[in-house]
Each structure stands twice: as C-alpha cells, then as structure tokens.
Amino acid sequence: MARAIWSGSISFGLVTIPVGLYSATEDHTVHFNQFERDTSDRIRYERVNERTGKEVDYADVVKGHEVGNGDYVVVEPRELQAIAPGRSRSIDIETFVDLSEIDPIFFQKTYWLAPEDKDHARPYALLAAAMNKTNRAGIATFVMRGKQYLTAVRADGDVLALDTLYFADEIRDPRTLLDTLPGKVKPKAGELKMATSLVESMSGAWKPKDYTDTYTGRVNKLIRDKRKGKEIITEEQPPESTDVVDLMDALRRSVESARGGRKPTKAKASSASPIDDASKSELDTLARELKIRGRSRMTRAELLRSVKQEQRKAS
C-alpha cells in the first residue's frame, strides 16, 4: 500500500472527510551522475566564498534577494520560517466551478485523495458522485511542506483527484513575452479550409496508452549498447520548416495522406537522387555496407555526401 505524503481532511459545507494525499504520477527520467572525462572521478559541488575561495559551512549560508544595482536584502532562514504558512491540515473547498472553465495552463501537478479509512468511504463517494454529475471542481487552498497551494479537487471516476494550480499572477502573458506572434495576420480562405480539413482528417479518440516516452527508451538503449561496446547510431535530423510558398501544396498532400491512412511524405524533386530523402539511419546502413569509416560521428549531410562519393567510385 502506498504511503500518504500528506494527511488531513477535505471539507465542503459542514461535511468533513479525513483523507490522505498520494502522488498520481512518477518520474521515469534516466538520471546521471557527473564525472571528469576519461576518469572515474565523480564531480562534487562545494559552497565556496567567491572572494576568499574557501568552503562555507551550510549553517553559515543565508539567502539574499537582489533589489537592484548589485544590492541585496539578506534574509535569515529563521525569518523565512517565521512567516511560512502554518501546518494546515484541512482542504476547505470555497467554491465549485465548472471544470471546463479552468484553462489547462493553470494545472501544475496531480495527486490522488483517498479516505483515511473505510468508515469515511460513504461521504467520499458522495462528493465524487456529485462532482461527476455536475462536472464541477472544488477550489481550495491548503498547506503542504511549508508552502501554500491553490488547488482544484475533481472527480476522476470514483476517485477524487487534487490538482495543484498556478496562481493567476504566475501565468505569463504571451503577448508581452513573444515578439513573433502573427498578430493581425489572417489566413487565406483556401488555406484555412484545407487546414481545417486536415485537422478533421487526422482527428481521433484520445488514447494515452498509444503514446510512450521514446526518448527515455533511447537513453536506456544507449546505456545498454555502450555497456556492451556496440556502435551508436544517432537519430535522423528533424524535418525542415515548410516554405510559405509551398504551404497549400503541403496541406493538400497532407490531407490526401491522412485520408488514405498514410504518413505525409515530402514531394521529391525530379532531379533528386534516390537517396536524397533517405533518413540518417538509412544512410548509416548504406555507409556501413560501403565500409565508410567514422560514420558514427557524421551528420546526415556528411553521411549523404560520403555515400554519394563512394557510389560514384563504385560506378
């Protein structure tokens, strides 16, 4: 049985339910230690005084907040502890909102809530059923590990989920942040119709199990291959951006491919070599057959050039 990372109660109106909080997700990122190249020496970090070069004991470290012009306000750890939120043990729902009204950008991390024991299963199930029926989420704040969180409590079937949310002033406005947005640029009618058709042709049901973290899988394979002394084959280069002039043609071919259940492919120029559109892994296979040395360190362009040179020599 999993262990709760927080325990307390959830309240709505005059109903209070003792609950435990459990992490709903897990991180499967491959973690690395750091070493000096060509040695087995681990890299360690020290707290060093930049003026004296001497290591500083952790007990002598204080925090400083820059207030401009290189000036800092120094704050002691005990001062931060004195103003930290109390040890709240209650999630008091202040209001219920339609779940669809919460912009996904506000969602931060998801946890599961479970009744503390079977004696409180009935009010727990009642709250979950009521929120399922109304598509509502309960908005509340609570304190965990000395930090206050804004949360949305919602029903996920017969289980209550708690999503921590960003506060409104933590959301950055893209219009003041990004200077390459299209602004008042409007799509052409024909392009919009074709793009809409493409979106509809590629639409389907949301099936999360169809998607996996392929990069972590490749990292684990890289580690296994290097441990066995195998040669490493790098991935192909990402596709080039679509030229605005070719946008309509790219959309048209994409729609045709999507309707036919095929993956869209780029149009090939009549003068192009048959291997010009080969992926990096395909070029690497050709390079291996041609016994080209140093191929594992080559880019796709270098592989293509080397393969063409060897093919010309052979002919």
State mean pLDDT over 166-179: 92
Q: Assign residue 226 a region: left if phi > 0, alpha if psi is -120 to 50, beta otherwise?
A: alpha
pLDDT above 90: percentage of residues in the chain:
44
Alpha-carbon distance values, 116 to 18, 123, 149, 184, 225 (Å): 5, 12, 21, 54, 47
Work out the average pLDDT over 2-27: 92
- Mean pLDDT score, 22-42: 92
The whole-number average pLDDT for the span 224-236 is 72
Q: What confidence score (pLDDT) does residue 217 get? A: 84
| Per-residue pLDDT at 267 | 46
Residue type, 136: R
pLDDT at 122: 93
Q: State the pLDDT confidence band at 273, using cuts at 50, 70 and 90.
A: low
- In which band, very low, low, confident or very high, does the pLDDT at 263 lie, cut at 50, 70 and 90? low
Answer whether residue 241 shows pLDDT above 80: no
Sequence-distant (6+) residues with CB within 8 A of 88 are 8, 142, 143, 148
Residue 1 has pLDDT above 90, yes or no: no
Per-residue pLDDT averaged across 166-181, rounded? 92
Q: Please, which residues have CB within 8 angstroms of residue 57's CB and are 6 or more apart in sequence? A: 47
Structural contact between residues 30 and 220, judged by C-beta atoms closer than 8 angstroms? yes
Which tens digit of pLDDT belongs to each residue from 116-160?
988 899 999 999 999 999 999 999 999 998 889 999 999 999 999
- CA–CA separation, 122 and 265 (whole Å): 56
Residue 165 sits at the vertex; the CA angle it makes with 206 and 159, to the nearest 5 degrees, is 55
Q: Comparing 298 with 174, which gets the higher pLDDT?
A: 174
Find tokens 């109304």 and name the residue. 134
d(Cα 94, Cα 96) in Å, to the nearest integer? 7
Section 73-79 average pLDDT: 90
pTM of the model: 0.67
Q: pLDDT: is 83 or 277 the higher one? A: 83
Q: Compute the average pLDDT of residues 175-203.
A: 87
- pLDDT value at 270 more than 90: no
Give the pLDDT mean for 219-224.
Answer: 86
pLDDT of residue 269: 41
d(CA 233, CA 219): 12
Determine the average pLDDT of the residues in 173-181.
88
* pLDDT at residue 239, as a whole number: 59
**Out of 25-34, 206-215, 276-285, least confident range:** 276-285
Mean pLDDT in residue range 208-213: 85
